[in-house]
Structure 1
Amino acid sequence: MRHIAITAALAIAIIPTVGFAQCRITIPGTACVAVPQPAIPRPGPVDIGDTLERGQYSMLMNARYYGLPDARDGWVYMRIADDIYRVDWRSHTVLERVTDQAGRNW
C-alpha cells in the first residue's frame, strides 16, 4: 500500500500543471516569457529572374552604410518597394533579394 502512495505522489509531482505547460523553464518566483519565433519571409514585389523596366526603380548608393558589400562584377543594388535587390546592370535582371543581409539601419 505504501508503494502505491509513493508512486502516486511521484506521478503528481512529475505531471506538469496547466499553468506551467507552456513554459520551457520554470523557476519559482518568475513568470513565463514568450520565445520569439523567426519571422516568416513575406513574398517580394518582384521575383528572382524578372527583368526590371528601366527608370522604374532607384539604385541604392553607399551600400556599406547599409551593411552590404560593395557592388561589383556588373551588378548593382536596387530599391524596390521596401526591399533591396541585387540586379544585373546591363540586362536589369533581378539576381537576388538581399534585404535580410542589410544592417539594422535599413
Structure 2
Amino acid sequence: MTPQDFAELAVDIGFAMLIVALVLAFIRLILGPSLPDRVVALDMMTVLIVAFCGLFSISTGDRAFLDVAIVLALVGFLATVALARFAERRVSRREDEELESLE
C-alpha cells in the first residue's frame, strides 16, 4: 500500500465517520427533549459540516472549500451564541414568572 492509497483510504473513512456523526446529531436535533440538547446538536452539526468541507478540500485539492469552511465556522459560532442567549433569556423569564406567582 502506497502512501497515496493510505491517504485516500483515510479520507474515505473520515467521510464515512462524518456522515454517521451527522446522522446521529440530526437524530438528537429532532428528538432532543430540551432546547439545550437541540442547540448542542445544531452546533455539532455545524462543526461536522466544517470538517466535511475540510476533508472535501483535501480530497479534491481545491482550496476554495477551506474558505467556505472558515466562513461556515464563523457563522456557526455566531448562531450558537445567539441560540444560547435566547435560551438564557427564556429561562430567566420563566424564573421571573415563577417568582411573581409566589408573591
Higher RCO by CA contacts (8 Å cutoff, separation 6 or greater) = 2
Same fold (TM over 0.5): no
TM-score (norm 2): 0.27
TM-score (norm 1): 0.26
Structure with the higher fraction of residues in strand conformation = 1
